[in-house]
Structure 1
Amino acid sequence: MSEPVRVAAVTEQPLSVDRLLATVNDPAVGGIVLFVGTVRDHDAPVDPTIDGDSAGTTRGVTSLDYTAHPLAVDRLAEVAARAATVHGVRAVAVEHRVGHLVIGDLAVVVAVGAEHRGEAFLACRQLIDELKAGVPIWKEQTFDDGVAEWVGLP
């Protein structure tokens, strides 16, 4: 069997769901879960019971600029490796985009292949949650009023 972490990358290139899906496909995989994070046109109040953030005012967004610390790839690989230890997980792939992104662009793609769907869902959720909490990638949102604001800085 090949290594379970097939891809852990930070890139300026557009992301491909199909490529990561193919990366985690494996004869032992019975379920694949994908998470695709996209740039949306607004910064909405969130439900703190889901994302752990506090609610706020909805504002229109025109673009995002992602910046990564030089250690971001190493941290991303560590997060992917932890997700790969979930029982039954056979393959994990994750890519996060950096640079200037506009509405509709893919910002992050996570793919997990596991023996069963439950394991794949669990590992995918764990990976994206740990990525957001601990991988040093930050975004600067530009709002429709021209104001820019950094999000997720330590």
Structure 2
Amino acid sequence: MRRIKFCAGHRLFGHGGKCEHFHGHNYVADFFVQGDSQDDVGRVLDFSDLKKRVKGWIDEHWDHSFLIRDTDENAKQALSMVVPSRFFVMPYNPTAENMAKYLLEEMCPEALQGTGARAVRVRVWETDESFAEAAIQNQHDSDDSYVTSETISL
């Protein structure tokens, strides 16, 4: 597992509550990877290589960006008027659940290609007390995944 921290803004299109407003979080994403074998040193994937690959993608696409839903034309228009501006369009609302799903199903296969490692679980912490997780149930079939969320009382 490798933990990556990043800052991003979002809004939940159609939410109806305060999360429909633009706002941001200091996110933490935990990436759990597995492999069928270990290298001569005894690693599935060197932690520094995992960091370079997943943090590199997050830094390029999500860190200090706004995550918005593809059908949220109002947000696209508003963010396009701000120069400079960074936003990332997602195929669904950028909830913590959907962010974990996107990282697991879309980003990780691309970022880990050629390493022999595969992501089996991604946990996205939106706050210190709340996270959502996407995981592959059958770890050899990336089409069989589930998403869950949890709030921790401290």
* TM-score, scaled to structure 2: 0.27
* TM-score, scaled to structure 1: 0.27
